[in-house]
Amino acid sequence: MAGKSTEIRPFGPEAIAAAAALIRDGQPVAVPTETVYGLAADATNARAVARIYEAKGRPSFNPLIVHIPNLASATRLGTFSSEARALAEQHWPGPLTVVVPLAPDSPVASLVTAGLPTIALRVPAHPAMRALLDASGRPLAAPSANASGRISPTRADHVLASLSGRIALVIDGGSSAHGLESTIVAFTGGLPRLLRPGPVEVPQALAPSSSQIEAPGMLASHYAPAKPLRLNATERASNEWLIGFGNIEGDASLSPSGDLGEAAARLFDLLHQADAGSQAAIAVAPVPDIGIGRAINDRLARAAAPRP
Ligand code: TXA
Ligand code: MG
């Protein structure tokens, strides 16, 4: 998509129809929400989710928030305690994200959760995001629609300033009402924890102490396989399961054709497979450190780093 022109359409039935067609085609679309503009893609399609990272130039696979139309849809993707359910009922639709254990048969691509056993879920209030959820019929993974390292966009022209030429469509819904990302509260065991303060006040959730920080963007490693991982491997040792890329075939390949976007989409799935298999160790073929390959290598380096 890089180098193509980015269309802006005012929020309305035509924009939503065009956006839903792109979503079903596996493309990301920038869409207003009441917090900030999101870059939305089909959360059940790993290749579509990889395109979010490609467009943002995100240096690491932070897990993404999945947007759904209502609490019933949310409970198909995550497992809600009664406390999590009560907070969601109080604030949804709205600028609250809850992190809960991933449902056992969740259809969400593992790239969305960056391999974590938890999932961040939000029912948005903005009519454009709600219309897109309705028209596409898919759960939508959506980080803020800015290039990595830039501030979050609250207007369509902010989105264009950093993503022009990298995505096909921006839906213009005017200025975001909150202009600040959603409050994130984790219900993944013990007391609720405030992972990110935001528009919704949740007095019963306290920020984790620095020794228990769990917002994955802050962690040195938020996904590591249980087995030792060797990087830049060109052949397998006898105890290894080799994850190939390009010419290096391996036991399974990130992308036989050397497509980095395909490799990004398959990375977490193959690490899970390697962990579950019978070999004691994992090796991974070299991946070029360009474009989204940098994000792949960032995650691989964290996965191979010495464990605490
Ligand atoms: O308001 C918002 O939340 C906007 C709009 C578009 O909905 N989205 C947004 O997404 O701010 P993003 O990707 O910029 O921030 C997502 C945050 C990150 O800090 C990430 O670490 C955290 O959510 N997160 C996602 N999944 C998580 C999980 N399973 N456990 C803990 N934190 C998680
Ligand atoms: Mg962001």
Do 292 and 54 contact (CB within 8 A), yes or no? yes
Q: Which ligand is nearest to the CA of 52?
A: 1
Of ligand 1's listed atoms, the one at least distance from the Cα of 122 is 7
Cβ of residue 115 lying under 6 Å from some atom of ligand 1: no
Residue 115 phi, psi (nearest 5): 80, 0
Per-residue pLDDT of the chain (308 residues; tens, 9 = 90+): 556 799 999 999 999 999 999 999 999 999 999 999 999 999 999 999 999 999 998 766 789 999 999 999 999 999 999 999 999 999 999 999 999 999 999 999 999 998 899 999 999 999 999 999 999 999 999 999 988 877 889 889 989 988 999 999 999 999 898 888 899 999 998 899 999 888 888 988 887 765 454 554 444 444 567 899 999 999 999 999 999 999 999 999 999 999 998 888 788 778 878 988 999 999 999 999 988 788 788 778 878 887 66
Cβ of residue 181 lying under 6 Å from some atom of ligand 1: yes
Cβ of residue 28 lying under 6 Å from some atom of ligand 1: no
Domains and CATH numbers, the chain: 7-196 (3.90.870.10), 229-304 (no CATH)
Helical ranges in 156-243 per DSSP H? 156-163
Q: Which ligand is nearest to the CA of 110?
A: 1
Q: Residue 114: name the closest of 62, 72, 65, 163 by CA.
A: 62
Helical ranges in the chain per DSSP H? 13-24, 46-56, 71-77, 82-91, 127-136, 156-163, 260-276, 293-304
Of ligand 1's listed atoms, the one at least distance from the Cα of 181 is 1
Cβ of residue 118 lying under 6 Å from some atom of ligand 1: yes
Cα–Cα distance for residue pair 104/257, rounded to 1 Å: 32
Helix pair 260-276, 46-56: axis angle to 10 deg:
120
